[in-house]
Amino acid sequence: MFSKILVANRGEIAVRIIRACKEMGITSVAVFSEADKDALHVSLADESYCIGRPAPRDSYLNMSAIITLAQATNCEAIHPGYGFLSENYQFARLCEEYGIVFIGPPAEVIRTMGDKAAARRTMQAAGIPVIPGSGVLNDINEARRIAERVGYPLLIKASAGGGGRGIRLVNSAGDFERQYTTAAAEAQNAFGDGSVYLEKFLNPVKHIEVQILADNHGNIVCLGERDCSVQRRNQKMIEESPANIPVEVRQRMAEASVMAAAAAGYRGAGTVEYLYDGAGNFYFLEMNTRLQVEHPVTEMVTGVDLVKWQIRIAAGNPLGFSQDEIAPVGHSIECRINAENPKKSFRPSCGRIEMLHVPGGPWVRLDTAIYQGYTIPPFYDSMIGKLIVHAKTRDEAIRKMKAALCELVIKGIEHNADYLLEILSSEEFDSAVYTTDFLDRLGGAG
């Protein structure tokens, strides 16, 4: 096992990783920007070092600074969390070159799965159904021809994309050129890669993701699925496990996900994402080669600590359980708590936390890095926490989450707890048949 790990992230996920390290007897090293000198992960880690100015490119995305610090502090491994460098194959390769273990899959796997078009080809070769579409497009004339074959409506998507960016919906041929140009420009700006591809737009669908763990000894297990269909502008807001899908579909998705991990040569914790049409058909969407924001709901229903297993696998340990031993129990829901005002077009909110009261009770969990007196800086993502509950049934979990949201008090900034309550109280969410266009129909602040 490692004796010292550098945590190359910030916020609640850095806190989550540091806590896992403490429980495993591993020394943790935190990095932070000048804007995060008072952040919780800085004080919780055994050692903490400033690596640059507030802008992510000058700190949390500064690969050379992070590698240099890892060497200077004798860290054997780096945990990237999610976001920032977590899916950067060049960073993973750099770790390998300098003899530092990257806690995640091999660089080549990240590169292949991060290229959405290459990932589609890999899954097709493995016999996993993919959404009708194209490979990477070379020019707009080729794109037009393929678009006519695929049929409208369709999506233009960034090949190197993620997080809902670089995606444009095209309803007709007349709008194709404008959306193609916009998607390519946005992809170039967001990811440094302007390549795009096409996918048939499927609607209505559920967005289902399947959690897998794979070790270096040929063992791959599936830890069930999560329904991530409550989305605003392709950004997830509420996730739950298990999903409301037929048992037979759940089994086929699990089998396909294990096949996908094997085909990719996967190692560590990963997520295979699908679109499910409600009629028994599902299609591969993408594979996330990192820990997901919503991993706690899987932990709650399976009792498996995904962060600890990421670390153990990276250290070369085999999985300590088989597929037969994975038996999800009950129901879990996660709500993302964002510092934003839903009544003002979800405008981000920054400032000092004047008062904080954290919900309590059995099987209620708040993953966060905020505390009373902390000032939220304006440089990073608006998510400030994740509220997670677990109960025997879905109905009970919904009631528990509503109670927890009502108990949550954060004064000094604006946040989205009331909007989350509105979603949970809707008939469509209560029925569990909601799809990815649910919030468009809900209206209100969304």
CA distance 383 to 350: 11
Catalytic residue among 10, 232, 267, 290: 290
DSSP secondary structure letter of residue 169:
E
Q: Which residues, including other chains, have CB under 8 Å from residue 241's CB and lie 6 or more apart?
A: 224, 225, 226, 227, 297, 298, 300, 301, 328, 331, 332
- 290 is annotated as an active-site residue: yes
Q: How far apart are CA 262 and CA 202, in angstroms?
A: 27
275 contacts 285 by C-beta, under 8 angstroms? yes
What tokens appear for 237 in the block?
A: 């807001």
Q: What are phi and psi of 353, to 5 degrees?
A: -75, 105
User: Tokens representing 284?
Assistant: 């591969």
Indicate the SS3 state at residue 423. helix
Q: What Cα–Cα distance (Å) separates residue 56 from each residue in 51, 63, 357? A: 10, 11, 30
Residue 141: C-alpha distances to residues 116, 137, 171, 188 (Å): 21, 9, 18, 19
> Cα 378 vs. chain centroid, distance in angstroms?
21
* Residues designated as active site: 290
